[in-house]
Amino acid sequence: MTIDKFDFDATLLTVNFATRLLAMEVDRDVLIDRTIEAFCDLGSCKDATLMMYDEYKELKGVAASLQQRRFIIDEEIPLTKAMVEASQSLKPVIRPVCDNSVYPLPADCCNSSQTCLCIPLVGARDHIRGFVTLYREMERPWELSELFQLGIVSTVAAISFENSELFRQTIEDSLTGLYMRRYLFIRLNDEVQRYKRRGGPLSMVMLDVDHFKCVNDRFGHACGDAVLRSVGRILNESCRTGVDLPCRYGGEEFAILMPGSGKDEAEAVAERIRKACEQHIISCAEGKIGITVSAGVASIDECEKASADELLKKADERLYQAKQHGRNTIVGTDC
């Protein structure tokens, strides 16, 4: 395609829509899905692979699209010559597709009937964050307008992932991987305002690790950290991804904000967590540790005043009651 036939208006309109969706998102899971969607749409492809470098500088497959069916992957991806070339030139590289891969990857040989476009995700200071690969039939060559759009979107996607990581570091507890208390307050206020406008269920669970000080005193703080990491993992596994908000509230205390869940559902989740903790044994150099948790559960419709403070207060009061009633128990009503 010659430059005079290049439809800038249509191209910029399409790119503007895609880049806005990417640039406004900080949730990594949502960003992954939007990245795959944007590249498939702009590249007129049904098949794509998203690869990112992890904290150990290893290239990992993150997500893929096969015939427009998207799914998460988690496996190491070998660095091909096309990826090296794309990294060095900071530009897309076209190669035959690798026939031996389930996901579209560029081949080092030339005996394929399909082309694979390898696009580097170039972030700040020309740092390569990963790659997106797309493929389609040989008779559909890549047009200048497509390469132009994909080049812009690749930079926006890379910087969006960088921003997502920075945002995650400000809201995520480094020990447990859960959200931090200050982010809980932000989301809780948002959900209470949404409740006031639209109604609907909203619940809160407050949990505390029983006799945690004894764990630190007897086994040491390293084992105490292992306990907190284990509880954090159990909370993550017990909550709805992208819906519930599990947080480390402070010390050995945790909280779960549950939009869309009534108190019965919240109590069921709290009980599932309690049982999982009770059955979990943590092995440390100093010995094996058994843990239990106590929890208080409250719903917004139980509060005299629909406010974040009232919901937190009621859940915390019931947590205190659970401790008073012998620990390793859930309290969902005022005693």
118 contact partners, CB below 8 Å, separation of at least 6: 80, 82, 83, 86, 92, 93, 94, 95, 106, 131, 133
Residue partners of 113: CB distance under 8 A and separation at least 6: 137, 138
Q: How far is CA 145 from CA 85, 90, 150, 266, 293, in A?
A: 22, 18, 9, 51, 58
67 sits in the region (left: phi over 0; alpha: psi -120 to 50; else beta) called left
Structure tokens at 299: 């719903």
| Cα–Cα distance measured from residue 187 to residue 71, given in angstroms and rounded to the nearest whole number | 28
What is the token pair recorded at 227? Answer: 């306990």
The CA distance from 114 to 139, in Å, is: 8
| In contact, 77 and 71? CB cutoff 8 Å | no
Q: CA 76 to CA 54: how far, in whole Å?
A: 10
Three-class SS of residue 281?
strand
d(CA 311, CA 288): 36
Q: What would the two tokens of residue 189 be?
A: 């206020």
By annotation, the residues acting in catalysis are 252
Continuous H helices in 172-211 = 181-198
Query: Residue 285 contacts by C-beta under 8 Å, 6 or more apart in sequence?
Result: none
Q: If DSSP codes are grouped into helix, strand and coil, which group holds residue 240? A: coil
CB 187 within 8 A of CB 258: no
Number of CB atoms found within 10 A of residue 250's CB: 11
